[in-house]
């Protein structure tokens, strides 16, 4: 919060009303000011609750953000400010013999959780049973644009992990393995809450949301063909065994070269057991996998299978 303060001593004109704070003999003082946003351009914050503890005085700012306490006793104390969507704040007022003090108060907007997804991933492997991961993805906005860092936290699992900002996705993301979570199985996470914390540039930490794991898909999709470096045409058909996990889901097919992902098809219906390429693949060596994706974005991946598109001479 940023505060500007102005002081007004007794004016030279005679003041005889004992309730006039400018009367030198009056015991009363006035506290006034304006509450605005910290972000630029400044905007007045009407409806902010202003509480002066001395005398138990409470009022709200008007539509222009102004407030005025009159007939206060000049006792040094805290002025407390609250406004929905903004961080609570307070100002210590030191009268120092002044009859009137004017404050400009700027409130810091609270960060807002726009979206939060906790999902599990099971990647079936050849030389180990599987690789298990928890993916945390948080969409956060802040009017003041002063987010310093974002964390996922769990007291139960002793977890406090910073999330990385993905510029393309405009989200904060972390991928956690069993070692990070200090568990032997992702099933242990089901029903437990994970908190999302935002730290701003003045080091305040705010809990903006929480969520938990709803499912772990342990079942494995089994591929059929192509596999084992089988040579295929440039528009191959990929087949796998029928998969019935017992909950709503879709399939996602992915194709890779050694350089990375080259094709992805999302939303294949659950009754699917095959997919035929429509766009030809260039000659070369490839790997493919198929995912089961449920309604909570939990995922389970088949083992990878290899194939070679024709007209490519393997070295």
Residue 15: the pLDDT is: 55
Question: In a 3-state reduction of DSSP, which class is residue 92?
Answer: strand
DSSP state of 247: S
What pLDDT does 20 receive?
56
Q: What is the pLDDT of residue 11?
A: 45
Annotated domain spans of the chain = 2-107, 112-212, 223-309
- Tell me whether the CATH fold assigned to 112-212 matches the one assigned to 223-309: yes
pLDDT for the residue numbered 269: 98
Low-confidence ranges of the chain (pLDDT < 50): 9-12
**Burial class of 92 by CB neighbour count within 10 A (0 to 12, 13 to 18, 19+):** exposed
Looking at residue 17, its pLDDT comes to 59
So what's the pLDDT on residue 236?
97
CATH topology of domain 2-107: Immunoglobulin-like (2.60.40)
Integer Cα distance of 51 and 37 in angstroms: 19
CATH number of the domain located at residue range(s) 112-212 in this protein: 2.60.40
**Dihedral (C-alpha) 192, 110, 297, 159: value to the nearest 10 degrees?**
-40
Query: Which positions ≥6 away from 167 have C-beta within 8 Å?
Result: none
Report whether 17 contacts 95 (CB < 8 A): no
The CA distance from 177 to 185, in Å, is 10
193: DSSP letter: E
Mean pLDDT of the chain: 92
DSSP conformation letters of 117-173: EEEEEEEE-SSSSEEEEEEEEEEEE-TT--EEEEEEEETTTTEEEEPEEETTTTEEE
pTM tops 0.75, yes or no: yes
CA distance 266 to 314: 30
The yes or no reply on domain 223-309 and CATH 1.25.40.10 is no
């Amino acid at each position: 919060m940023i505060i500007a303060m102005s002081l007004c001593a007794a004016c030279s004109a005679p003041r005889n009303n004992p309730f006039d704070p400018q009367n030198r003999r009056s015991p009363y003082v006035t506290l006034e000011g304006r509450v605005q946003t910290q972000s630029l351009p400044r905007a007045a914050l009407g409806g902010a609750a202003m509480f002066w503890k001395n005398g138990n005085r409470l009022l709200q700012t008007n539509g222009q953000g102004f407030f005025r306490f009159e007939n206060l006793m000049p006792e040094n104390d805290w002025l407390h400010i609250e406004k929905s969507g903004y961080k609570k704040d307070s100002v210590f007022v030191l009268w120092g013999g002044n009859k009137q003090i004017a404050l400009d108060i700027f409130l810091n907007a609270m960060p807002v959780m726009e979206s939060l997804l906790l999902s599990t991933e099971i990647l079936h492997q050849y030389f180990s049973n599987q690789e298990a991961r928890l993916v945390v993805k948080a969409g956060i906005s802040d009017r003041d644009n002063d987010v310093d860092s974002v964390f996922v936290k769990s007291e139960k699992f002793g977890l406090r992990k910073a999330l990385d900002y993905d510029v393309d996705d405009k989200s904060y993301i972390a991928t956690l393995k069993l070692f990070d979570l200090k568990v032997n199985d992702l099933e242990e996470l089901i029903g437990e809450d994970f908190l999302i914390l935002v730290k701003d540039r003045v080091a305040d930490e705010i809990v903006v949301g929480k969520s938990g794991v709803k499912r772990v898909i342990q079942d494995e999709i089994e591929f059929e063909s192509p596999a084992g470096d089988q040579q295929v045409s440039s528009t191959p058909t990929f087949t796998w065994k029928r998969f019935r996990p017992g909950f709503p889901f879709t399939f996602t097919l992915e194709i890779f070269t050694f350089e990375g992902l080259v094709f992805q098809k999302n939303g294949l219906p659950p009754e699917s057991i095959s997919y035929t390429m429509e766009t030809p693949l260039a000659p070369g060596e490839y790997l493919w996998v198929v995912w089961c994706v449920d309604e909570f974005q939990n995922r389970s991946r088949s083992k990878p299978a290899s194939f070679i598109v024709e007209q490519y001479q393997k070295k």
